[in-house]
């Protein structure tokens, strides 16, 4: 088997490397020659744990290669995966399909023999059919099928998510196409991964529904966390108490500053848009989009309230900027809303992130960039944790205290224990949990 992967962004690169690890010959294509040059030099353009090794091993084994030449990659391939970007279109928030359409046309021009063209990018329902029409219009004689095969990769855990997924969804009912995809995913049959074959449109909608549902879950627990703060309840126990009901499930019930990243914000907006366009609005998702946007902005108010209602002339130390740990991705990160709001409230802000500083500098300005966590803290009035990187979980609290003006922390990811923080002398606030009381004698 040989496949071409069009697009060496996050999804294309991870999927290409993982398919090659499964034993398939994979040629990854990208128009961006500087990206291909870097990959050919063994450099990985994104931060994803384990990806560098996986790529290096499979390149060395001769199963994985990179090129800017789409024609050579596509000619004779059993399957061509389209994994190009689908950014949110300015104005209406709908997914911009320019790159997908362009890729479909270019693939059609050069494909040879029976080829399965698979959309891996997250695309609005109906895009698969459109891809098929583009190919047919470009090459009326082409022998092909179009399938949808959405990815469910979490950044930071993408390789594991690809190799040991909860399920694989394949949108095509054509036997020949199913056969090719079944062969590509053969190693997953050995570990009994459920593989769902369904129609093209259903597969496209599964992807949006999965991400929207998870966004609903997060937003639900975020709102319950706010209520917990008002009534003195602990959101973690609420999450456990409801999550142990198998119908609800425990995952994605961790409260925080609102979801971000490359998928949830984009996909919820796109789903809401498609649904409205089709005259069947998904109002719960529209509401979730609205609540989450407001939440991210509102987190700065939480810090202001914690500091007695004003940040004028105060210094805020911020730890974590990326939308989640183990990535350098800043797309729709809550910090993009929170940090400028802290500045606007009159605070001087020092920031540190283990991997995200370079990306953060493109979207955040007017702050002091620090080399490590402790460098943010001298004379700070409050320490704010926005992203739960592991290295922030074990801060030397004595050192933190000695550096700060006063020991005060707003932990937007609940990585510390309220009682322990109270015992350590911190004015500590988290999300949806009562503040701890210091034990007697401490
Ligand atoms: C997500 C989906 O999980 C993945 O299946 C999909 O294909 C791509 O989008 P990703 O964006 O990498 O993956 O990150 P994920 O771990 O799902 O987190 C998304 C956002 O939700 C982050 O901002 C995270 O902080 C937030 N989140 C997640 C919470 O606030 N609480 C939770 O309980 C879980």
Cα angle vertex 327, ends 323, 331, to 5°?
40
How many Å lie between the centroid of ligand 1 and the Cα of residue 263?
Answer: 8
**Whether residue 282 is found in the same domain as residue 383:** no
Q: Which of 148, 180, 198 is the last residue of a domain?
A: 198
Helix (H/G/I), strand (E/B), else coil: 417: coil
In this structure, the answer to whether residues 221 and 354 fall within a common structural domain is no
Q: Provide the annotated active-site residues.
A: 263
Residue 96 lies in a domain: yes
What residue's CA is closest to ligand 1, atom 7?
152
154 assigned to a ligand binding site:
yes
Q: Let me know whether 135 and 55 are in one domain.
A: yes
Tokens 């975020």: give the residue: 222
- Asked whether residue 34 is domain-assigned, the answer is yes
Q: Give the per-residue pLDDT at 21.
A: 98
The answer on whether 252 is annotated among ligand-binding residues is yes
Question: For residue 264, how far is its CA from the centre of ligand 1 (angstroms)?
Answer: 7
Which residue has a Cα nearest atom 10 of ligand 1? 154
Residues 6+ apart with CB under 8 A from 178: 170, 172, 197
b/e map 217-236, b = 16+ CB within 10 Å: bbbbbbebbeebbeeebbbb
Question: How much distance in Å is there from the Cα of 154 to the middle of ligand 1?
Answer: 7
- Write out pLDDT tens, residues 373-387: 999 999 999 999 999
297 contact partners, CB below 8 Å, separation of at least 6: 337, 338, 341
pLDDT reported for residue 417: 96
Same domain, 237 and 173: no
Ligand 1 atom nearest residue 222's Cα: 30
Residues 178 and 212 in one domain: no
Ligand 1 first shell, C-beta below 6 A? 151-155, 211, 214, 218, 252-254, 256, 259-264, 323-324
Nearest-angstrom CA–CA distance, 440 and 442: 6
Residue nearest (by alpha carbon) to ligand 1 atom 14: 154
Which of 242, 275, 290 terminates a domain? The answer is 290
CATH number for the domain spanning 182: value is: 3.40.50.720
Q: Residue 203: inside a domain, yes or no?
A: no
Task: Give the Å distance between the CA of 9 and the centre of ligand 1.
Answer: 18
Is position 109 annotated in a ligand binding site?
no
Domain assignment of residue 221, given as a range: 208-290
Whether residues 252 and 277 share a domain: the answer is: yes
Cα–Cα distance, 181 to 186 (Å, whole number): 8
Among 177, 198, 219, give the residue marking a domain's end: 198
Give per-residue pLDDT as tens, 215-263.
999 999 999 999 999 999 999 999 999 999 999 999 999 999 999 998 9
Q: Is 324 annotated as a binding residue?
A: yes
Return the best residue to mutate from 12, 122, 259, 326 for the ligand 1 pocket (most ligand atoms within 8 A of CB).
Answer: 259
Give pLDDT, residue 285. Answer: 98
- 8 A C-beta contact, residue 214 and residue 267: no
Looking at the fold, whether 270 and 312 belong to one and the same domain comes out as no
Give me ligand 1 centre to Cα 440, in Å. 40
Task: Check whether 171 is labelled as a binding-site residue.
Answer: no
State the pLDDT at residue 440.
Answer: 53
pLDDT of residue 439: 62
Q: In terms of domains, do 36 and 173 share one?
A: yes
Select from 137, 151, 65 the least CA-distant residue to 104.
Answer: 137
Count of CB atoms situated within 10 Å of the CB of 254: 18
In a domain? residue 397: yes
**155 annotated as a binding-site residue:** yes
Q: Which atom of ligand 1 is nearest to the CA of 263?
A: 9
Probe residue for ligand 1, chosen from 46, 123, 162, 214 as the CB with the greatest number of ligand atoms within 8 Å? 214
Give nearest CA residue, ligand 1 atom 34. Answer: 252
CA distance 385 to 257: 10
Minimal-distance CA residue to ligand 1 atom 5: 152
Query: Which residues are registered as beta bridge partners of 168?
Result: 195
Does residue 142 lie within any of the structural domains?
A: yes
Q: Are residues 125 and 163 in the same domain?
A: yes
Q: Which residue's alpha carbon is at the smallest distance from atom 27 of ligand 1?
A: 259
309 and 183 fall within a common domain:
no
ipTM: 0.97
The reply to whether 122 sits in an annotated binding site is yes
Q: Which atom of ligand 1 is nearest to the CA of 156?
A: 12
Domain containing 283 — which CATH number? 1.10.1040.10
- The answer to whether 350 and 376 are in contact (CB under 8 A) is yes
Residue 94 is predicted with a pLDDT of 78
Ligand 1 site-directed mutation target among 223, 263, 338, 413, most atoms within 8 Å of CB: 263
- Give the Cα-Cα-Cα angle 357, 16, 27 (nearest 5 degrees): 115
Non-local (6+) Cβ contacts of 203 within 8 A are 128, 147, 148, 149, 150, 169, 170, 171, 172
| 299 closest CA partner among 264, 270, 338 | 338
Do the Cβ atoms of 331 and 342 come closer than 8 Å? no
Q: Which residues contact 344 (CB under 8 A, 6 or more apart)?
A: none
Report the alpha-carbon distance of residue 407 to residue 21 in Å, rounded: 49
Q: Is residue 434 part of a domain?
A: no
Structural domain count of the chain: 3
Q: Are residues 131 and 250 in the same domain?
A: no
**Residue nearest atom 2 in ligand 1 by C-alpha distance:** 154
Q: Which residue has the tokens 């802290």?
A: 342
**In what order do the strands lie in the sheet containing 368-369?**
368-369, 348-352, 315-319, 382-385, 408-411, 427-429
Q: Are both 53 and 148 inside the same structural domain?
A: yes
CA gap 56, 39 in Å, rounded:
10
Q: Could you tell me which of 42, 60, 45 has the C-alpha nearest to residue 14? A: 45
| Residue 302 belongs to some domain of the structure | yes
- Give the residue ranges of the chain where pLDDT is below 70: 437-442
Q: Has residue 435 been placed in a domain?
A: no
Nearest to 404 by CA among 436, 383, 379, 432: 379
């Amino acid at each position: 088997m040989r496949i071409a992967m069009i697009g060496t962004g996050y999804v294309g690169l991870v999927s290409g490397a993982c398919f090659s690890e499964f034993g398939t010959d994979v040629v990854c294509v990208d128009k961006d020659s500087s990206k291909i040059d870097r990959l050919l030099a063994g450099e990985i353009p994104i931060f994803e744990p384990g990806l560098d090794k996986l790529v290096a091993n499979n390149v060395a084994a001769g199963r994985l290669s990179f090129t800017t030449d789409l024609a050579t990659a596509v000619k004779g391939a059993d399957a061509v995966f389209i994994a190009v970007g689908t950014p949110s279109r300015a104005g209406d928030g709908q997914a911009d399909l320019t790159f997908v359409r362009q890729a479909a046309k270019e693939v059609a021009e050069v494909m040879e023999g029976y080829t399965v063209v698979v959309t891996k990018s997250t695309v609005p329902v109906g895009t698969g059919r459109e891809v098929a029409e583009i190919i047919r219009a470009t090459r009326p004689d082409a022998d092909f099928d179009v399938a949808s095969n959405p990815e469910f990769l979490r950044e930071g855990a993408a390789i594991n998510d690809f190799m040991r997924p909860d399920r694989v969804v394949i949108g095509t009912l054509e036997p020949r196409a199913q056969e090719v995809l079944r062969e590509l995913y053969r190693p997953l049959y050995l570990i009994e991964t459920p593989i769902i074959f369904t129609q093209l449109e259903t597969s496209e909608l599964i992807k949006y529904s999965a991400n929207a549902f998870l966004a609903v879950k997060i937003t639900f627990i975020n709102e319950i966390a706010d209520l917990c703060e008002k009534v003195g309840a602990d959101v973690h126990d609420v999450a456990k108490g409801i999550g142990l009901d198998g119908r609800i499930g425990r995952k994605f019930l961790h409260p925080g500053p609102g979801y971000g990243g490359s998928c949830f914000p984009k996909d919820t907006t796109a789903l809401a848009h498609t649904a409205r366009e089709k005259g069947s609005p998904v109002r719960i998702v529209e509401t979730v989009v609205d609540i989450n946007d407001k939440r991210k902005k509102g987190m700065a108010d939480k810090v202001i309230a914690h500091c007695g209602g004003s940040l004028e002339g105060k210094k805020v130390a911020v730890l974590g900027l990326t939308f989640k740990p183990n990535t350098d991705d800043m797309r729709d990160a809550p910090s993009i809303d929170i940090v400028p709001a802290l500045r606007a409230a009159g605070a001087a802000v020092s920031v540190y992130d283990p991997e995200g500083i370079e990306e953060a500098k493109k979207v955040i300005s007017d702050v002091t960039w620090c080399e490590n966590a402790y460098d943010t803290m001298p004379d700070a009035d409050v320490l704010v944790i926005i992203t739960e990187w592991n290295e922030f979980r074990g801060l030397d609290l004595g050192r933190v205290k000695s550096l700060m003006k006063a020991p005060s922390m707003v932990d937007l990811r609940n990585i510390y224990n309220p009682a322990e923080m109270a015992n350590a002398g911190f004015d500590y606030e988290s999300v949806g949990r009562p503040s701890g009381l210091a034990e007697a004698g401490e």
